[in-house]
Amino acid sequence: MESRRLKHASLTLLILVSSSYGGHIGTASTLKMDQALLEFHNQLREEVQVYYTSDYCYECVYQHLATVKPRNQNASAIISTKFTLTVQVESQTRNESLCRWSQTYEEGGHYSVWIQISEATKDPSCMHTLDKSPNNIYLPLLAAALQLAMIALLFVVVPYIYRRRRTSKYIKIICCQGPQYSVDNVTHAGETAQNTSKAKPVRLLSLDTFRGFALTVMVFVNYGGGGYWFFEHAPWNGLTVGDLVMPWFVFVIGTSVVLAFASMQRRGVSRLQLLRKITWRTAVLLMLGFCFINYSPRDGRLSWSWLRIPGVLQRLGFTYFVLSLLQTFWGQKEIPLRADPWWKPAQDVVLYWPQWLIIILLETLWLCITLLMPVPNCPTGYLGAGGIGDNGLYPNCTGGAAGHIDRWMFGDNMYRYPTCKELYHTTQPFDPEGLLGTINSIVMGFLGMQAGKIILFYKKKNVHILCRFVVWAVVLGISAAILSKCTRDGGFIPVNKNLWSLSFVMCMGCFSFLLLGGMYFVIDIKGWWGGQPFLYPGMNSIFVYVGHSLLGFYFPFSWEMHSLDSHWEQLFQSLWGTILWVLVAYLLYRKKFFLKI
């Protein structure tokens, strides 16, 4: 979920370099978030060159940082503090490395490196000193966490105590005991009873809460996540908070499709009616993503030359379409009652064997294209970011087969500022919502469908539901660990959100089963929590997502920030905009307004 701000703003380079000879040019006022000042003092009689690389950048070529003249001259550089840097000082005349070190510099700090002759060994050495203490970047997070904890007390503890004191006046509703489910797909809150005289179907509150939690984190990330790199998307391989939300959303789509379609099929909705409904919703999602989320008047004059064809809602819409077709043609209207067949422990899998066959074929297609398709001037099966990565051997191979297919299909009409651009210095466009990754998006949604089938097959058997959730989480987690070898870059198939790699899908499936199972236990079984406040955006997800995408960067949701050297204002703005949209969802909930498609 890329914010419009990142889409149209110029990207800051990993290292901003400026040099001076005989004087110090870096000042505290020049430093911004995620930056520190590094000054080199050369006491040798020869000129030296300073190079750097980020330890997060896989096998990246060293980049030039500074040139330091001899005889007590110095040079300053503003460096990034996001990741650990490896810095190397080389002799200009001898063409050899004088010293090398790896260090994680801290935001706002001023550091000095003295390049001199060691008195003990008589060889060149580098000595570090701290000239100005760095900022405590976690203090804003601590203050925000305390405030959010107080809000949680209001939303969770106080209503719980109130319910406990008035137990006799309320009827405790345990989910999955009713014969119908009104949970619908991600695009709206669900089917609600139109006739108030009829009994209202029981909602799976944990699913609404899960959807709302993912959406709330998504909005926070799209507002910048307070400027913290671990709330943004990972540069290439690996996981950050920003990489979690869309897979959770897709997982919820699959679970909702199973529950909603089972309910509609039991009510006698024909297959033709389902197909019309599926087609309409898919078309609306595609049009919303392409025509509205893609462009707004603040972007300037509309031009086809930069208009992006793939997108988040486009992928969600197509994923929903495929999952709905699977459930329409090969779903079970009723759970068959048979006398304990041998495959009963796996009945929620065996009875859906046509769906599994299609998913296995799709995943085989992804593996074959990704690992076997020849890409011009790139190694077969390449999964790297290109640019300066992999020792600079494949600069134009960003994304391997996935990137090649998208560039062939869409040309420049795709995402031009991929997350790897800043760190890997890539020049090729790469779209994280491209065609090949959509296959694994369908697989991720199918795992969500499996969660829905478990809930249907084992209703009123909460222990069985939770145990099967845990089993699926363990199997998927172990599979992801094997594929990635429990490393960020060194596995058979690294965990990569940009590519939606198989290991990424399995890892996210593991997290999804655990999170949904935990919420199901706390909310629907024990009733310890009503799902607030995430329940409200979860029941109006399409309104909140489209609303924050179109209006999110206008006042009062955001404003032009003036304090660029601290996380305080940006974190406040990110939380403020997120809380406002949760409040909007709450007001719509009170008014019983749910945007449906």
- Give, in degrees to the nearest 5, the angle at Cα 49 between 45 and 53: 150
Alpha helices in 375-495 (DSSP H): 400-410, 421-424, 435-457, 462-484
Written as six digits, the tokens of 514 are 């655990």
- Give, in degrees to the nearest 5, the angle at Cα 462 between 337 and 246: 100
Domain-by-domain residue ranges, the chain? 15-132, 205-296+309-590
- Give, in degrees to the nearest 5, the angle at Cα 504 between 499 and 506: 140
Do 2 and 549 meet the contact criterion of CB atoms below 8 Å apart?
A: no
Written as six digits, the tokens of 245 are 């939300």
Dihedral over Cα of 138, 142, 145, 151: its sign: negative
Q: Residue 11: its pLDDT value, please?
A: 33
Residue 23, C-beta contacts closer than 8 angstroms, at least 6 positions apart: 74
Residues facing 126 on adjacent strands: 115
d(CA 240, CA 355): 31
- pLDDT higher than threshold 60 for residue 170: no
Reported as a pLDDT band with limits 50, 70 and 90, residue 183 is very low
d(CA 542, CA 281): 12
Amino acid in position 193 = A
Reported as a pLDDT band with limits 50, 70 and 90, residue 4 is very low
Residue 471, C-beta contacts closer than 8 angstroms, at least 6 positions apart: none
d(CA 355, CA 364): 14
Angle, in degrees to the nearest 10, between helices 271-287 and 312-330: 170
Mean pLDDT for the stretch of residues 574-595: 91
- pLDDT higher than threshold 50 for residue 106: yes
d(CA 501, CA 494): 7
Rg (CA), the chain: 27
Q: Residue 184: its pLDDT value, please?
A: 39
Mean pLDDT for the stretch of residues 531-537: 89
Q: How far is CA 429 from CA 374, 377, 426, 551, in A?
A: 19, 17, 8, 26
Written as six digits, the tokens of 71 are 């005889």
Q: Residue 125: its pLDDT value, please?
A: 85
Q: Residue 295: its pLDDT value, please?
A: 60
Q: Residue 358: its pLDDT value, please?
A: 95
Amino acid in position 5 = R
Neighbours of 101 (CB within 10 A): 12
Mean pLDDT for the stretch of residues 121-134: 86
Reported as a pLDDT band with limits 50, 70 and 90, residue 13 is very low
Name the catalytic one among 41, 233, 404, 567: 233
Strand pairing report for 35-42 and 110-117: parallel
The per-residue pLDDT for range 215-224, each reduced to its tens digit, is 999 999 999 8
Q: What percent of the chain has pLDDT over 90?
A: 51
Q: Does residue 353 sit in helix, strand or coil?
A: helix
- E strands along 264-379, which residues? none
Homologous superfamily, domain 15-132: Domain of unknown function DUF5300 (2.60.40.2890)
Do 1 and 242 meet the contact criterion of CB atoms below 8 Å apart?
A: yes
Do 125 and 48 meet the contact criterion of CB atoms below 8 Å apart?
A: no
Residues facing 77 on adjacent strands: 17, 38
Amino acid in position 171 = I
Dihedral over Cα of 27, 83, 575, 308: its sign: positive
Q: Does residue 101 sit in helix, strand or coil?
A: strand
Label each residue of 500-532 as H, E or C.
CCHHHHHHHHHHHHHHHHHHHHHHHHCCCCCCC
Do 430 and 235 meet the contact criterion of CB atoms below 8 Å apart?
A: no
- pLDDT higher than threshold 90 for residue 411: no
- pLDDT higher than threshold 60 for residue 166: yes
Q: How far is CA 71 from CA 42, 75, 120, 409, 422, in A?
A: 6, 12, 20, 57, 35
What is this structure's pTM? 0.86
Active site residue 567: no
> Mean pLDDT over all residues of the chain?
83
